[in-house]
Homo-oligomer: A and B are copies of this chain.
Amino acid sequence: MPFGSKDKAYNNSRSMAYLTAEQALADYAVLLTDLKRNLSSESSPVVLFGGSYGGMLAAWMRLKYPHIAVGALASSAPILQFEDIVPDTIFYDLVSNDFKRESLSCFQTIKDSWKELDEQGNGQDGLLKLSKTFHLCQTLNTTGALSDWLSSAYSYLAMVDYPMPSEFLMPLPANPIKEVCRNIDKQPEGSSILERIYAGVNIYYNYTGTVDCFDLDDDPHGMGGWDWQACTEMVMPMSSSEGLSMFLPDEFDYALYADDCVKNFGVRPRPRWISTEFGGHNISSVLEKFGSNIIFFNGLLDPWSGGGVLKNISESVVAIVAPLGAHHIDLRPATKEDPDWLVSLRESELEIISGWLSDHYGARGGALFQRATNKDSAAS
């Protein structure tokens, strides 16, 4: 942690300014080079592994520092989720699909809940009532804060919709969306929409059952750093569509977004920087012509797969797609409950990576041989 502590590093924009993808890649480059020198293993090949933002870094690092690493496994890396490269509604549409596939009534209850929430919030003592229904620690100032809290839960649930119990963002059962929807659907007849919704999100925010009340301002996933990055270079436009989504229709408003960044961090974003630095609009051609040895893994349940590379680009830039996988499930620890498709796709990844290493040692072996030969002829 630079600047002595996390508190100090995150204290102001002068130190936060170092929190960029480019700086991260440069740090990795120096770390790997120094580490290999210190370990006297300068000729050892390095393979990059990363999931989510880390997956973007892995792919970008292979593009920018091919001399440092022989290949990259970029898991659930939404490198296309910038500008207008993919439709800006795709993320929330995918989240919505995950709920719809489990239960149409669950999907519909969530879709109907926003209006209900708004009406109840605007009624007599509405915010107080809502705060009680949802067991909030503090009374709401706006319904918006509650909507955001609910939306976040749905999005995170879609990301971690794994077929086995997990504790990535929160302790959760296997197939958590199925559980959430079961809870929403199974409430006794006559239950209100919002009672159902509460029963649903309770699975996400309180699966262990130990939470007395919910604090909406809590930042359990430590997203402060990401918020800064989203306000500088990682501008990912996201809207929700009227038709396909269960979320409130909402169009991404860049001007408003940028003003919020100025207000919160004193910076104005550079929404086009990422595609300038790493390529974007023609990313297939960048990856095809200039990239090699990259695996893009995506699980189609993961809403981030909408901004991912889902098709093979070339012989050595390949896409592995798991229709039933969620956010970087391939990089999670192996468990006994792992379904066959997961075991088998991990094997495919290992096989591809082994190929990179063979290529590397093959090529290097050749060079060593040549050098030895030259030496001999110089001596003779």
Bound state CA distance, A22 and B282, in angstroms? 23
Q: How many residues in A have their beta carbons less than 8 Å from beta carbons of B?
A: 22
Q: B29, B66, B277: which contacts A286 (Cβ < 8 A)?
A: B66
Bound state CA distance, A33 and B65, in angstroms? 22
Asked if A276 is at the interface of the complex by the 8 Å CB criterion, the answer is: yes
> Is A286 within 8 A of B33, CB to CB?
no
A67 to chain B, nearest CB (A): 4
> Is B277 within 8 A of A26, CB to CB?
yes
Bound state CA distance, A367 and B33, in angstroms? 39
Bound state CA distance, A219 and B94, in angstroms? 62
Q: B66, B277, B285, B367: which contacts A290 (Cβ < 8 A)?
A: B66
Which B residues lie within 8 Å of A292 (CB)? Answer: 289
Asked if A311 is at the interface of the complex by the 8 Å CB criterion, the answer is: no
> Is B66 within 8 A of A276, CB to CB?
no
Bound state CA distance, A113 and B102, in angstroms? 89
> Is A289 within 8 A of B64, CB to CB?
no
> Is B289 within 8 A of A66, CB to CB?
yes
> Is A276 within 8 A of B33, CB to CB?
yes
Which B residues lie within 8 Å of A26 (CB)? Answer: 277
Assembly stoichiometry (copies): 2
Bound state CA distance, A305 and B13, in angstroms? 43
Bound state CA distance, A285 and B367, in angstroms? 10
Which B residues lie within 8 Å of A273 (CB)? Answer: 30
> Is A67 within 8 A of B282, CB to CB?
yes
> Is B286 within 8 A of A67, CB to CB?
yes
Asked if A272 is at the interface of the complex by the 8 Å CB criterion, the answer is: yes
When C-beta atoms are compared, the residue in chain B nearest to A363 turns out to be: B285
Which B residues lie within 8 Å of A126 (CB)? Answer: none
List residues 41-83 of chain A with CB under 8 A from any CB of chain B. 64-68
Which B residues lie within 8 Å of A276 (CB)? Answer: 29-30, 33, 68
A303 to chain B, nearest CB (A): 27
Which B residues lie within 8 Å of A285 (CB)? Answer: 67, 367
Asked if A279 is at the interface of the complex by the 8 Å CB criterion, the answer is: yes
Q: B30, B64, B272, B367: which contacts A64 (Cβ < 8 A)?
A: B64
A58 to chain B, nearest CB (A): 17
A179 to chain B, nearest CB (A): 41
> Is B290 within 8 A of A29, CB to CB?
no
When C-beta atoms are compared, the residue in chain B nearest to A290 turns out to be: B66
Bound state CA distance, A290 and B285, in angstroms? 14
Bound state CA distance, A290 and B65, in angstroms? 10
A369 to chain B, nearest CB (A): 15
Which B residues lie within 8 Å of A272 (CB)? Answer: 33
Which B residues lie within 8 Å of A30 (CB)? Answer: 273, 276
15 cross-chain CB contacts under 8 A? A22-B22, A29-B276, A29-B277, A30-B276, A33-B272, A33-B276, A66-B286, A66-B289, A66-B290, A67-B279, A67-B285, A67-B286, A68-B276, A289-B292, A290-B290
A contact residues vs B (CB 8 Å cutoff)? 22, 26, 29-30, 33, 64-68, 272-273, 276-277, 279, 282, 285-286, 289-290, 292, 367
Q: 7 closest pairs, A vs B, by CB?
A: A67-B279, A66-B290, A67-B286, A33-B276, A29-B276, A30-B276, A64-B64
Other A-B pairs beyond A30-B273, A33-B272, A66-B289, 10, CB < 8 Å: A22-B22, A30-B276, A65-B277, A66-B290, A67-B279, A67-B285, A67-B286, A68-B276, A285-B367, A290-B290
